Amino acid sequence: MSAEQEALRLDETDPQPSLREEFLIPPAPGGTYSEAAYFAGNSLGLQPKAVAGRLREELDDWARLAVEGHTQARRPWVDYHELLREPAARLVGALPHEVVAMNSLTVNLHLMMASFYRPSGDRTRIVIEDSAFPSDSYAVASQAVHHGLDPADAVVRLTPRPGEDTLRTEDVLAFLEREGGTVALLMLGGVNYLTGQLMDMAAITKAGRAAGAVVGWDLAHAAGNVPLRLHDWDVDFAAWCTYKYLNSGPGAVAGCFVHERHVADPSVPKLSGWWGTEPSVRFRMDPDIAPPASADAWQLSNPPILALAPVLASLEIFDRVGMDALRARSERLTGYLAARLAPLPGVQVITPDDPAARGSQLSLRVADAGGLVRRLAETHGVVADAREPDVVRFAPVPLYCTFHDCHRAAEALDDLT
């Protein structure tokens, strides 16, 4: 049996078949296949076919009802975001009143830090990983400046050991035991955007809170990628985008989690807006806010319905399949691709070998990453992305990627490296 035949056999017999037929697969930029082998879902997920119909329904209700759509649309706009609450909670392992769909990821991180980053005395530092996504670096530095602190002193960037590419959990825990008394906020990425490393969120959260720090997580590359248990892990807050693994469209409305111990605590400061007041009194237009005992208290403005509709359509897919089944398929796909890449010369995988320590991503260190990504697309129809100067990222997203896609990627890399 050829390698291609084996990949096709795996696709036919996998216990959780691909839902590829429910997504719009872009045409291959080049090569002999009509459809792309798409591995850039960790940057922008593919469009579910159901999204166009959902958007048309909202546009039709707007055309038919105008302002009355707030209460009379088939999904009334005034409380539309409530439709996302329970599926979002199931996705991230939260109680329904702990989650809300709002804003964008970095806006939500700023709102969370406005509430939970409270430097005082010796406890002033914010801890992130050195390879954090740049937006997180900019956000925490600006928060330090906002509090009159020098980011060079206030922001700690955890680095891997010399010669290694990823953080060791024991090193993070040792840092917290050693220096936790100076840490006001620990805010790491649940899955690192560059390396694909899945952090041990449960252990790190426990250690951070034991050290007296607030623990928040950037789940941009974790939500919809790996199972999460935010409530049980006792996470203080978390935020995530929905346009990567959640396939909700470019710049889609993000999500936010606040643990229930905080949502009803009146001592927690918030930056407020009118949608953060109790719905039963919202339209009395009172000058004083009456925040609900839920994550909704962090809302600022009425939600954009046309932007929420794709998120709702996507969450329904995740609810139907379940994160445990998707995670199991992800491990099979990523493991298959890793095995196919292992013998290739000139390719160094920097993502952890342990399936439990990575998400649906393999990051490769190669020469001329940008040029390789262009050649993969132009000559083989394989779409990945580059992080200059020397990292190419492949995301075998379990909802729509197949073993045959992984076969194509391995064959293309063998041909081009």
Is 105 annotated as a binding-site member? Answer: yes
Query: Residue 161: how many CB atoms within 10 A of its CB?
Result: 10
Is 353 annotated as a binding-site member? Answer: no
Is 231 annotated as a binding-site member? Answer: no
CA 227 – CA 323 distance, rounded (Å): 6
Beta-carbon-side half-sphere exposure of residue 25 (alpha carbons within 13 Å): 23
List the Cα angle 131/136/137 in 5-degree steps. Answer: 65
Is 106 annotated as a binding-site member? Answer: yes
Is 302 annotated as a binding-site member? Answer: yes
Is 243 annotated as a binding-site member? Answer: yes
Is 134 annotated as a binding-site member? Answer: yes
Is 221 annotated as a binding-site member? Answer: yes
Q: Are 226 and 233 in contact (CB under 8 A)?
A: no
Is 61 annotated as a binding-site member? Answer: no
Residue positions forming the annotated binding site for pyridoxal 5'-phosphate? 105-106, 133-136, 218, 221, 243, 274, 302
Residue positions forming the annotated binding site? 105-106, 133-136, 218, 221, 243, 274, 302
